Amino acid sequence: MTMSVKNILGGALVAAVAATAVAPIASAATINVVPAAYAEGLVTAVDAEANTITVNNQTYTLRSPLDGFDGVTAGSEVNIAYVVQNGKRVILAITPVAEETDEAVE
């Protein structure tokens, strides 16, 4: 059995490409991803000046002024997706809970 230089170099090239492809994956494993948490409840307070709302006795902060306040008032039922950053619950998304109707579906 004889190995040609071409076969040896080809094998070395494949190994080098494989090692390069794995390197970004290994470094990506060190990224700290925080999953969102979810809450649903009745809005009891809206503070546009502080950029916060209170739901189920918990205060949530909007990321930017008026971001998501459209249609959200005290008494609104909402669903919230949020993350905790620096000890604050920061809203990623807020949506009103659809009101149920008493109409029969035919």
Q: Which residues contact 2 (CB under 8 A, 6 or more apart)?
A: none
- The confidence score (pLDDT) of residue 9 equals 46
Distance CA 82, CA 62 (A): 9
- The confidence score (pLDDT) of residue 45 equals 95
The tens digit of pLDDT for each residue in 28-87 reads 566 677 789 999 999 999 998 898 999 999 999 988 766 666 778 899 999 999 999 999
Record the pTM. 0.61
Domain count, the chain: 2
Which structural domain, as residue segments, surrounds residue 27?
A: 1-31
- Whether residue 102 lies inside any domain: the answer is no
State whether 23 and 53 are in the same domain. Answer: no
Q: In the numeric block, which tokens belong to residue 45? A: 């307070």
- The confidence score (pLDDT) of residue 56 equals 93
Q: Which is it for the CA torsion 9, 11, 14, 20, positive or negative?
A: negative
- Whether residue 25 lies inside any domain: the answer is yes
Distance CA 5, CA 59 (A): 69
- Whether residue 101 lies inside any domain: the answer is no
Q: What is the domain-level CATH number for residue 92?
A: 2.40.50.320
